[in-house]
Amino acid sequence: MRYAIADIHGCCKTFHALLEKMRIKRSDNLYLLGDYIDRGPDGKGVLDTIMTLGCNVSALKGNHEDMWLRASAQSDDPFGSAEYFRLWMENGGQATLRSFAGIDAAPYLAFLRDLAPFIELDDFLLVHAEFDFSLSDPFGEAGIDSMLWSRGKPQFGPKPVLCGHTPLPLDRIRAGLRTNKINIDNGCCYVDRIGYQNLLAYCLDDGGLLVQRNIEERGMDR
């Protein structure tokens, strides 16, 4: 089977609970749509899980990974400095700093640098945010910023787009499962918002949706 999960945001216990609910097998294909870190308490644990999963894993880069990578490029410190560091901290990066306390982050940054911005399958396009189909080549270098960061662009692509990035209430996600833009970000880290706080797994083969409520023990960084 083929599954997709978006926007785990450091919610490692919730991620593990969803994987158990999925009964993931070695032969399954798991597509992860970015934003593995920040806000939730254990970004390092999420990355450790992704890097050691016993199935076929294809992970995309999200804008939160992009922020950490840009911050780290500002100095010799793997947690970065200056403008991008401030941006990262304003968007939940403190939680990632805590999860890496005293741990060498260099191997994790190397892993994140190698993540692709999108995946094209026979029946879906997978991306963290969205494609800019107004570009002559929406899948090229000029489209990467849109793939990681953009919101609100029209979707007129050749295939349905499966994405995350913009948290939506669960009823809107369910209503959009048969459209040309399937957003599966239910804002897992937003535990105080009605209609949110679930991590979702979408089955690309039958259109089913598995729902796991947030079970983290610590508060979230906004």
C-alpha 50/C-alpha 45 separation (Å) is 9
The predicted pLDDT at position 2 comes to: 98
Q: Region 99-116: what's the mean pLDDT? A: 96
The predicted pLDDT at position 154 comes to: 81
Q: Answer whether residue 3 shows pLDDT above 60.
A: yes
What's the whole-model pTM score?
A: 0.94
Tens-digit pLDDT profile for residues 152-203: 888 778 899 999 999 999 999 999 999 999 999 999 999 999 999 999 999 9
The predicted pLDDT at position 220 comes to: 60
Q: 181 pairs with which residues across the strands?
A: 161
Q: Region 213-221: what's the mean pLDDT? A: 79
Which has more confidence, 42 or 83? 42
In order of their start, the domains of the chain are 2-127+159-213 (3.60.21.10)
- Helix locations, 26-114, DSSP H: 43-52, 63-72, 82-90, 93-99, 106-113
The predicted pLDDT at position 85 comes to: 86
Q: 116 pairs with which residues across the strands?
A: 60
For residue 220, the 8-state DSSP code is: P
